[in-house]
Amino acid sequence: MDSPTKIYSFCSLAMAALFLYSASVQLNDPDWYFWLPLYSGACVVNLLNWAISSKTIKNLAEFTLCLGMFLFIKVVLEDSRNGISGFWSLDLSERVIREKIGSGLVMISLVLHLLTSHESPQVSMNKHRNKFPRYVDYGEKP
The answer to whether residue 137 sits within a structural domain is: no
Domain housing 33: 6-118
The answer to whether residue 64 sits within a structural domain is: yes
The answer to whether residue 105 sits within a structural domain is: yes
For residue 138, which amino acid is it? Answer: Y
Q: How many domains would you assign to the chain?
A: 1
The answer to whether residue 29 sits within a structural domain is: yes
Of residues 110, 83, 111, the one with CA closest to residue 96: 83
Q: Tell me how far apart the alpha carbons of residues 66 and 142 are, in angstroms, rounded to a whole number.
A: 54
Residue 72 CB neighbours (<10 A): 19
The answer to whether residue 108 sits within a structural domain is: yes
Tens of pLDDT, residue by residue, the chain (142 residues): 455 677 877 888 888 888 888 878 777 777 777 777 888 888 888 888 656 667 788 888 888 899 889 989 988 898 888 887 777 777 777 888 888 888 888 898 888 888 877 654 444 445 555 566 566 666 666 5
In this prediction, residue 128 carries a pLDDT of 52
Q: Is residue 38 within 8 Å of 69, Cβ to Cβ?
A: no
Q: Which 8-state DSSP code applies to residue 92?
A: T
In this prediction, residue 4 carries a pLDDT of 62
Q: Tell me how far apart the alpha carbons of residues 139 and 3 are, in angstroms, rounded to a whole number.
A: 46
Q: Which helix (H) or strand (E) holds 63?
A: helix 55-82
The answer to whether residue 30 sits within a structural domain is: yes
The answer to whether residue 22 sits within a structural domain is: yes
The answer to whether residue 136 sits within a structural domain is: no
For residue 113, the Cα-to-chain-centroid distance in whole angstroms is 5
